[in-house]
Amino acid sequence: MLKGQDVVILIKLLANAGESWSQRDLARLLCMSQSEVNAGLKRLKIAGLVRIHSETVLPQPVLQASKEYLVHGVKYSFPVSLEEYTAGVPTSIAAPIFKDKLILGDEPLPVWPYSKGTARGIALKPLYSSVPQSVIEFPDQTFYDLLSLVDTIRQGRARERNLAIKMLEEYLSYDK
């Protein structure tokens, strides 16, 4: 059974295809412990979402399986409930990736709760608690974009979800 941190690890690997970090580096960038990353990689391997090419290099995502899981599985494994109004980091349809792509109404926008966040909105629990800290402390635009797209798939209305799926598939095509 996959955990939210496993999905975050998978998204980081997808966002940085071919990067040769150590598990220690990955743990630092994701604000997780090394043991969480190690266990997460093992669960991802069992699920068929990553494959190991050598013991010295981090596992690499199985692209088609990862796309299928992010598009069709995550929203059922990690459903969203919007909570209180809070400070945080914009996500889902409020994220910068959707700027000029959606017309947003007057309702509060989703944010990952985080005291150092610069936006205010309705709390959307991230896939793992360290996500907002990781996004702020170790900026990686592709990682942030992919997390926001996945949150839109988890939380958005049909039109927003369909746009997020299309954008996710474009991001993960690697032939840009």
Tokens found for residue 22: 């150590």
Verify that 85 and 72 share a domain, yes or no: no
pLDDT, average across residues 67-71: 96
Please check whether residues 58 and 88 belong to one and the same domain.
no
pLDDT tens digits, 87-144: 999 999 999 999 888 767 777 899 999 999 989 999 999 999 999 999 999 999 999 9
pLDDT value of residue 18: 78
User: Against a cut of 0.75, is the pTM above it?
Assistant: yes
**According to the model, what pLDDT value does residue 152 have?**
95
The DSSP result for 152-168, as a single string, is HHHH--HHHHHHHHHHH
Q: Mean pLDDT, to the nearest integer, of 11-19?
A: 91
Specify the amino acid at residue 95.
Answer: A
Question: Could you read off the pLDDT of 29-40 as tens digits, one per residue?
Answer: 999 999 999 999
Residues 6+ apart with CB under 8 A from 38: 23
| SS3 (DSSP) at 15 | helix
Last residue of a domain, one of 76, 108, 131: 76
Instruction: Examine the fold and report which residue of 41, 57, 76 is the final residue of a domain before the chain moves on.
Output: 76
Distance CA 140, CA 133 (A): 12
